[in-house]
Amino acid sequence: MTKITDEPFNGFPADGTPVQFFECVQRALTWLEPYLNDNDINHATLVAYCRSYANLVFCDGEQQAYDSQESLNAALKQVVVKQQQIVTVFSGVRNSILSAQALAQVESHSKTQSERASKPRKLEESDCRRIAKRYWDSKADGTSYGIVKALAAEYDVSPTTIHATAKKYNPLN
């Protein structure tokens, strides 16, 4: 399971430049690259937003010249809107990837547990009842010292299994 410790955009300062933001975009795309899927609309949207952002910020490798302050302000608004769109779409894509990985882990664990549970038990029901009876009888008689280890050795199981079996088949319950 791939982990990303920080969002690529967390390092972007509040007063950062569009070029600094583009560096964050490149980190995000580098993380996303192994998961990119042409058939996923969110992936395609993110790549399209990143391309259009690059076109807004860079014009053939040079910064754009603006006629007036109004055109500069309009361009800056476009840049900010595009930044917000990129962050929003990337967060959604990132969350869906991490969720899918977590779901795959849960399914794998569930399958493993199911396989483990389907194996035959080491102790039969009658053995469990016998173990519990001997355990609780020795407790009642005051002769319980060493009974757990003795039962574990006799039935070739761990002392923890003896304790669990005795509790499960407790005649007082």
Q: What are 53-101's pLDDT values in tens digits?
A: 888 877 654 555 566 677 777 878 888 888 899 999 999 999 999 999 9
Give the residue ranges of the chain where pLDDT is below 70: 1-6, 59-68, 120, 173
Total-model pTM:
0.59
Average pLDDT, the chain: 84
- What interhelical angle do 18-32 and 69-118 show, nearest 10? 20
Q: List the domain boundaries for the chain.
A: 18-118, 125-168
Dihedral pair phi/psi, residue 154, rounded to 5°: -65, -40
CA-nearest of 172, 89, 67, 168 to 127 is 168
